Amino acid sequence: MKVFNNWSLWLFISWFSIVQAETGEPYTHTRDPKIALNACNALISSSATFCKAAARRRRDYSCVCKNTNALATFSGCYHMLGKDTPKYVNYFLKQCELYNVTLSPIDFEDAYKNYTSLSKFPHEIEGFNKTKPIDVPIALTQNATDIYWKSYKQFNGNYEDSLYYGAGVLGYWLLVFVLAAISNWGKFLFPSVFKFFTGPVSNIWRKHVTLPATSRKKKSNEQRFLFIFDLLIPSRLETLILVGFLFVLIACLGANMTYHEGDPIFTNRREAMLRYLADRTGIVTTVLMPLLILFAGRNNFLQWFTLWNYATFIAFHRWVARAVFSMVVVHAVCFTIYEGSRYSHAVQQTYFKWGIIATVAGGIIMFQGMLFLRRRWYEMFLLIHIIMAALFIGGAWIHTDELGYVWFYYATSAVWVFDRAVRLGRIFSFGFPDARVFLLADETLKVKVPKPKYWKSIPGGHAFIHFLRPSCFWQSHPFTFIDSIEDENTITLYCKVKGGVTHGLYQYLATHPGRSTHIKVALEGPYGAPSPVSRYDTSVFIAGGNGIPGIYSEIHNLATRSKDNIKQSLKLYWIVRDYKSLYWFYEELLALKNSKIQTTIYITKPDTGDCLEEFNLRFPLGHREELDLEEEKELKLNNKHISLRSVTSSYDNYSANRRIVSIIQEELSHVSFKEGRPCIEKIVTEDTRESQGSTAFTVCGHPIMVDDLRKAIVRNLGHTDGKRVDFFEELQVWA
């Protein structure tokens, strides 16, 4: 029911936008009656004059309503087109009411009788002058009537066709979302059914469509383009969805555009096609705008509906934005060429100026949105992006205000405002607590944040945190979090020290005693959703470096909830550079001691000799007793309470570090330590073979490692002895 209500709301917004044509007035879906009205009015206006020149404007129907000879000619036109039916006649009569003229169907038929008995061709009227009013109905030819009908049907119909084609593109996305929801929710709701999809057809589909990267193995890791530009390539499934979108879009942009020889509206085919394409691209762009903004929102309900993560929708947002801007460029170029000598006059109009402003703003967005710039100057990118997006939407709003499509920008703005309002609501409802921030191992910030009692954590979820310091309070960055193992009313975030905010905090904390202090924070979240790994017989979690918090959160939650599920096997692999990297996550590793989780840690550079100082700092954090010198000398080699002062007085630095490693391995006896780089393919093969049934691999870490695991799983499909194997990526790359 919730899904239905959400989609009903979205479809209502889209439909409400579509059914509006003029500012403040509803669009009437009477396509052919309106076209017949315009065609006959234009034909009569170009054939003769019945009223004063001031009343002969293209969309002014007062003359045919008030002048009996014009009405007679108009009735004749309708009869020649075969449009003398109640549907067409009543529409015309309603238009006359706008000019305070009340006519009945009988009046319309009487007018036709006058036409048949009194009408004359121009050559039959003595002294005929097209610019001077005449007092008889003008006779029309069938050929002229038909060409006017066809031309206006194409010209006026293109506006409504464009709305329908835009709705068709939205329909494509609706189909994609429904199929995604069925597939992803099915793994939660019907896990036993999905376990049977292990045959050749299913494996081929997953091996070549749903699981792999678009080309080779790079998906999470950026690719170099033209030796200068970096770019992120979507997964193969995402790419196929986007290719389908572009195919549907191009088909809709080129469909149903025809030029009729003798067209009275345009002087030649080129001019007609320029105008048709300009109108089509502009209207379809407008129809897609609410969806474009919805894709970019953090509170996009489609994430819940499809169970796709934020990174997937950001990928869609980028490519839809590129398509939208391309249409804007085509729209602008076509109208510029179409206006020709009239351009200098057109550019003086307000709507035209704001169209140019919106186009320029869109171009700036496309340029500054390049991955190279986003990653090096993210905060500047974000600020410019927001300003230019506001200019683009605002400019398009003004541009379409008098053209009948501003309602789409009402919906677009509503989506944007709603997302911002929810984000602010999340921040203020969480409050602004004092967080305890630690600098650990010179590489990670540990942030302990008190949370409200109502605030429910999401295993593997993330939150956007503001550090409320004068130098960075306006910035927010996403980090995964875990529930504190010490206090159930506290969450802990681990932030890798890089540049920007984290580097500034690194310098700030380095000057404080114990490298820790209290900082007031604001938190926006939680975001994300757990994967359906609880439905699998074996769940394997692989983390690299600072990717461990989200992975730990999921597997720890799974182990806690499935204590009685002795059949499910839980495995955790953590790949780190050296033993020092264990320091900032040591307490959490200790907490795994009595769990069912089989934990393996790979140390890729075990001989790095800088862990002594870090673990010396750990002792007060671990509440370990310090021993005096006399007691230290009497300790045996395997005593885990050995002091580092004794070690440093007895061994050289290398031996001391190996001694510390021994202490670590003894304290973490429930963890299997392996030195060197892991073979990802071997892990996949062995864990799949050892599994009693279905296997889920969940990963978060360096993009290269994530891509390696994806490729290994894809290679292994078809060699799993009929066991279901799935891949879940927790790494989200959107900047």
Question: What are 7-42's pLDDT values in tens digits?
Answer: 433 443 444 444 443 444 344 454 789 999 999 999
As given in the structure block, the two tokens for residue 682 are 């071997």
Place of tokens 């109009």: 349
Helix (H, G, I), strand (E, B) or coil at 466: strand
- Residue 572 dihedral angles phi and psi, to the nearest 5°: -125, 125
Q: How many CA atoms lie within 13 A of 21 on its CB side?
A: 12
Give the CA distances from residue 405 to residues 16, 24, 138, 326, 409, in Å, rounded to whole numbers and listed in that order: 11, 11, 37, 19, 8
**Whole-number CA gyration radius for the chain:** 35
Give the CA distances from residue 593 to residues 490, 574, 619, in Å, rounded to whole numbers and listed in that order: 21, 15, 19
pTM of the model: 0.86
Give the CA distances from residue 544 to residues 109, 170, 275, 547, 730, in Å, rounded to whole numbers and listed in that order: 83, 39, 55, 5, 12
User: What's CA 581's distance to the chain center, in Å?
Assistant: 35
Q: Which residues contact 79 (CB under 8 A, 6 or more apart)?
A: 112, 115
Structural element, H or E, at residue 21: strand 20-22
Sign of the CA dihedral running 424, 427, 429, 432? negative
The C-alpha atoms of residue 515 and residue 437 are separated, in whole angstroms, by 8
> What pairs with residue 695 in β-bridges?
538, 725
Contact 713, 727 (CB under 8 A): yes
- Residue 251 dihedral angles phi and psi, to the nearest 5°: -60, -40
The pLDDT assigned to 563 comes to 59
Q: Which residues contact 374 (CB under 8 A, 6 or more apart)?
A: 381, 735
The pLDDT assigned to 58 comes to 55
As given in the structure block, the two tokens for residue 678 are 């892991």
Which segments of the chain have a pLDDT < 50? Answer: 1-28, 30, 54-56, 619-638, 640-644, 646-651
Structural element, H or E, at residue 319: helix 310-339
The C-alpha atoms of residue 283 and residue 58 are separated, in whole angstroms, by 22
Question: Burial letters for 231-249: b for 16+ Cβ neighbours within 10 Å, e otherwise?
Answer: ebbbbbbbbebbeebeebb
Q: Where are the alpha helices (DSSP H) in 19-134?
A: 31-47, 62-66, 68-81, 86-97, 105-118
Contact 570, 606 (CB under 8 A): no
- At residue 285, what is the residue type? T
